[in-house]
Structure 1
Amino acid sequence: MGHWLERNIIEPGKLPLLLALTAFVVTFLVTRLVTRLIRAGKGPFGNVSAGGVHIHHVVPGVILTVIGGFGAVASSRYGFGAAAFAVVFGIGVGLVLDEFALILHLADVYWTEEGRKSVEAVILTAALGGLLLSGFSPFGVNDLSEDELQDRGTVIWTVGTSFLFSLIALFKGKVRLAVFGVIVPFLALIGAIRLARPDTPWARRFYVRRPRARARAILRAYHHDRRWTGPARKFQDWLGGKPDPERALEHR
């Protein structure tokens, strides 16, 4: 284990990334545990207020993210400072993304259906961090040989093509494939060639005069949602807590 850690993490300078990712995941899990205890009225925890204003944990999260980010940029990848700032950055990002839905909606939607977006953002970020840690580089540039890397045209073509596929996948409503496609271009290609979801800009632009394509897109989206929405919601409820139905209806 020590040899693997030295060879694959410390030697390539990935220790700050590992520490940041670990701090991020642990912070999210601990934060969700505390908020669920507060929600249930258990434990010694409670909401933090100042002058009658509820202080959401996204506030210290932003402060820690700024400190950790600037500190990491100013530090060497191999020094103690980089490791310490990486932990601070990971904690900050964990606190911020745990309330991602609040930032998105500019409302306290933590325990509503809209609050699920926070859990989705955390899962997506953790997965991307894991891919980067395992050696994947944005747009798959790490797959090129040394001779190809010296050819600027090849690199520009690879990055440009991968970005185009990711952009098409995004406009088709394949958000996860578009995001992961930045790291694994093959996923972006899959998202780009598959049918768009019926409520996306791509469908509104290109399926208006193609009723068969639109009908196929609606049918595929229906079967996809029917198959995956239930399991995804159960996993999110297990990980982040089940939303409050009354609050969700009230918000709408």
Structure 2
Amino acid sequence: MGHWWERNILEPGKLPLLLALGAFVITFVVTRVITRLIRAGRGPFGNVKAGGLHIHHVVPGVVLTVVGGFGAVAADRHGAGGAVAAVVFGVGAGLVLDEFALILHLDDVYWSEEGRKSVEVVVLTAALVGLLLAGFVPFGVNDMTQEELQDRGGVIATIAVNFLFSLVCLGKGKARLAVFGVVVPLIALFGAVRLARPGSPWARRCYRRRPRARARSVLRAYRHDRRWSGPRRAVQDWIGGKPDPRPVGAAHDR
């Protein structure tokens, strides 16, 4: 275990990344526990207010992210300063992304259906950072041999092809596959060769005169959503709490 830690974490300088990821996940979990207790009216916690203004935790999150980010840039990643800056950045990022939906909609949608986007972004971010921590390099350059890495043309071609696959996934309305495909190329390839989702730019342009392809796209999307939307919502509710049944425009007091 000690040899693995030294070889895979300390020597490559990944300790700050590990600390940032740990602080990010822990901050998100603790924040969600506290907000759910506030929502249920339990515990000693309450909303932070200043002069009647509700201070959302995205505000201190932005401050911590800025401080931790600049601190990480200025510090040595192998030193104690880099580790402290990484923890500060992780805490700030956890607070900010926990209210990602609020930033996106410019409205307090924390406990609404739109608030699920915060949970999705947090899970997606944690998964991507975990892949980077495990050694996956964006665009699959880590899959190349040493001889291929020495060939600059081969590296550029690999990056270009994988980036193209990710763009195709994005154009087909498969944002999650596009994001993960940047790190794991086979995921992008899988999404690129399959039918586009209805309503995506690819479907509107390429299926306009292909009624069969358009119908297959709609049917496949319907079957996919019917199969996975329920489990996905259940996991999101377990992680972030069940959305409030009130209208999106209503006030959401935490």
Band of TM-score, shorter chain: over 0.9
**Where in structure 2 are the equivalents of 1:7-156 lying within 5 Å?**
7-156=7-156
Paired residue secondary structure (1:16): helix
Distance 1:250 1:39 in 2: 15
Distance 1:208 1:249 in 2: 36
How far is the alpha carbon of 1:148 from its aligned partner? 1.6
Alignment partner, residue 5 of structure 1: 5
How far is the alpha carbon of 1:122 from its aligned partner? 0.4
How far is the alpha carbon of 1:249 from its aligned partner? 7.3
Question: What do the CA deviations read for 1:137-166 (whole angstroms, capped 9, x no partner)?
Answer: 000111122222222211111111111110
Structure 1: gaps spanning 5 or more residues? none
Paired residue secondary structure (1:213): helix
Distance 2:188 2:216 in 1: 21
**Where in structure 2 are the equivalents of 1:153-164 lying within 5 Å?**
153-164=153-164
**Where in structure 2 are the equivalents of 1:209-248 lying within 5 Å?**
209-248=209-248
In the alignment, residue 190 of structure 2 is paired with which amino acid? I
Paired residue secondary structure (1:246): coil
In the alignment, residue 203 of structure 1 is paired with which amino acid? A
In the alignment, residue 84 of structure 1 is paired with which amino acid? V
- Equivalent pairs counted in the alignment come to 251
Question: What do the CA deviations read for 1:181-228 (whole angstroms, capped 9, x no partner)?
Answer: 000011111111110100111111111100000000000000000000
Question: Does structure 2 retain, via aligned residues, the 8 Å contact 1:19–1:87?
Answer: yes
Distance 1:248 1:59 in 2: 22
Distance 2:148 2:85 in 1: 35
**Overall identity of the aligned pairs, in %:** 74
Question: What do the CA deviations read for 1:37-66 (whole angstroms, capped 9, x no partner)?
Answer: 000111111111112211110111111111
In the alignment, residue 176 of structure 2 is paired with which amino acid? R
Distance 1:128 1:248 in 2: 30
Question: Does structure 2 retain, via aligned residues, the 8 Å contact 1:111–1:247?
Answer: no
CA root-mean-square deviation = 1.2
Alignment partner, residue 189 of structure 2: 189
CA gap of 1:79–1:117, structure 2 versus 1, over 3 A, is same
Paired residue secondary structure (1:234): helix
In the alignment, residue 17 of structure 2 is paired with which amino acid? L
Question: Does structure 2 retain, via aligned residues, the 8 Å contact 1:16–1:83?
Answer: yes
In the alignment, residue 150 of structure 1 is paired with which amino acid? Q
Question: Does structure 2 retain, via aligned residues, the 8 Å contact 1:61–1:94?
Answer: yes
How far is the alpha carbon of 1:169 from its aligned partner? 0.1
Paired residue secondary structure (1:28): helix
Question: Does structure 2 retain, via aligned residues, the 8 Å contact 1:138–1:183?
Answer: yes
How far is the alpha carbon of 1:14 from its aligned partner? 0.6
Q: Where has structure 1 moved over 3 Å in runs of 4 or more?
A: 247-251
